[in-house]
Amino acid sequence: MGIPTKQKTEHSSVPDDLFVPLNKDSAQLENIVRPSVGFWKDAWQRLLKNKLAVAGLITIIFLTIMAIVGPMLTPYSYSEQTLSNQNQPPSAEHWFGTDNLGRDMFTRTWYGARISLFIGLAAALIEFIIGVIYGGISGYKGGRTDNVMMRIVDILYGLPYLLVVILLMVVMGPGLFTIIIALTLTGWIGMARIVRGQVLQLKNNEYVLASKVLGANTSRIIRKHLLPNTMGPVIVSMTLTVPGAIFAEAFLSFLGLGVSAPVASWGSMANDALGVLNTGHWWRLFFPAFFISLTMLAFNVFGDGLRDALDPKLRR
């Protein structure tokens, strides 16, 4: 067995005139094989390679567009009742059928998409703002401030999330904005912990110290070191907050604590369908159930892909 890649050379077969000093290309000596790629560009490229994540992103875009234009595609409004048209199966007039009050399911489904996506995005955004401020202050100040702030978070963290939300909804009464308030009143805790942990870790990291020693000012440290490293986990957490909030809204609406009556939401539509399960009106359950699952699936898959793409340890 020989060496696979190269043949051992016989002395005599080598031409004599090659025994002269090698003319070296000195630039080649320290060349770096791989071109350097910025963090975000690299993350984006890796995200695009993940087919599931791309499918998730496309689905999210599709759902958002449909949430905006969907209700306008039909001549019906989400609350318009036509009692002669009760429980019609899907047809050319009513693409997703009608419910027990003769309301058009297609319009209601996409109107529900508006509610769900709005709640999801609003919750993620508010949690992001509160979490970054609270966690950032706690982590950056450190010491006593950090201690007190984190004790408070620890207690709140021990509370059962959905139970607290239910309680708040009972107290505040149903409605779109009370849902968002109830969700974010307890939901920011996770984000605050992530941000604080990241800030704390990075503050004392050697490369931050190193750049301090090299004379970088605070804004440069925040811009070049803290932000890129903190934003990864924060963005992932935001992406995964959206399906959680959508689920919570559906859950609350399902319990009758969600949006008020004529307004359509996927949770309340599913709840309405509970009574007609055995009647064969499958479209009553199918459409809200399908789209709520699809939305959560899309956000989960996209969030997972984002997490993988933004993980600096996975960089190659």
Partner 1 sequence: MLKYILKRFAWMILTIWVIITLTFFLMHSIPGDPLDVGDSGGSAAASENLRAYYNLDQPLPVQYFSYIKNIVTLDFGPSMTSRSSTVNDMISSGFPASLQLGIASLVFSVISGVALGVLAALRHNKMIDYITMIVAVIGISIPNFIQSMLFINYIGANFDFFPVARWGTWRHVILPALALSSGPMAIIARLTRSNMLEVLTQDYIRTAKAKGLSARKIVVKHALRNALLPVVTIMGALTASVLTGSFVIERIFAIPGIGQYFVNSISNRDYPMIMATTVIYSSILVFMMFLVDIIYGIIDPRIKLHTKED
Partner 2 sequence: MTEKLLEVKNLAVSFSAQGGEVQAVRGVSFHVSKGETIAVVGESGCGKSVTAQSIMRLIPEPPGKIKGGSIHFNGRDLAALSEKEMQKIRGKEIGMIFQDPMTSLNPTLTVGDQITEGLLTHQDISKADAEKEAVDLLRLVGFADPEARLKLYPHQFSGGMRQRIVIAMALVCKPSLIIADEPTTALDVTIQAQIMELFKEIQEKTGVAIILITHDLGVVAQAADRINVMYAGEIIESGTVKEIFYDTQHPYTQGLLASVPRLDGDRSKPLIPIYGSPPDLYSPPAGCAFAQRCEYAMEVCSKYAPPVTYLSGQHQTMCWLQDERAAGMRGPKVTIK
Q: Return the one option of partner 2, partner 1, none that residue 310 interacts with (CB less than 5 to 8 A, by type).
A: none
Rounded to an integer, what distance in angstroms lies between the CA atom of residue 262 and that of residue 253? 12
Residues 187, 156 contacting (CB under 8 angstroms): no
Q: Minimum CB separation from partner 1 for residue 36, in Å?
A: 26
Report d(CA 273, CA 279) in Å as an integer: 10
Question: How many other CB atoms are there within 10 angstroms of residue 275's CB atom?
Answer: 11
260 binds partner 1 (CB under 8 A): no
Contacting residues toward partner 2, per CB under 8 A: 1-11, 14-24, 28-30, 33, 316
Closer residue to partner 2, CB minimum distance, 15 or 158: 15
Rank residues 166 and 222 by Cβ distance to partner 1 and give the closer one. Answer: 166
| Position 304 contacts partner 1 (CB under 8 A) | yes
Residue (125 or 255) nearer to partner 1, CB: 255
The kind and range of the H/E element at 16 are: none
41 binds, among partner 2, partner 1, none (CB under 5 to 8 A by kind): none
Q: Which is nearer to partner 1, 221 or 298 (CB)?
A: 298
**Closest listed residue to residue 248, CA positions, set 200, 185, 158, 195:** 185
Alpha carbon distance 198, 230 (integer Å): 6
Total residue length of the chain: 316
State CA 200 to chain mean position distance: 24
Q: Which is nearer to partner 1, 39 or 282 (CB)?
A: 282
Q: How far apart are CA 195 and CA 138, in angstroms?
A: 9
Angle 126-129-130 (CA atoms, 0-180°, nearest 5)? 85
Q: Which of 129, 167, 210, 314 binds partner 1 (CB under 8 A)?
A: 167
Residue 159 touching partner 1 (CB under 8 A): yes
Beta carbon of residue 164, minimum distance to partner 1 (angstroms, whole number): 8
Taking contact as CB under 8 A, which single stretch among the options 27-35, 105-113, 230-238, 248-256 is the one that binds partner 1?
248-256
Nearest-approach distance from CB 52 to partner 2, in angstroms: 19
**Do residues 246 and 159 touch, judged by C-beta distance below 8 A?**
no
Distance CA 64, CA 61 (A): 5
Applying CB under 8 A, which residues contact partner 1? 154-155, 158-163, 166-168, 170-171, 243, 247, 250-251, 254-257, 270, 273-274, 277-278, 282, 285, 289, 292-294, 296-297, 300-301, 304
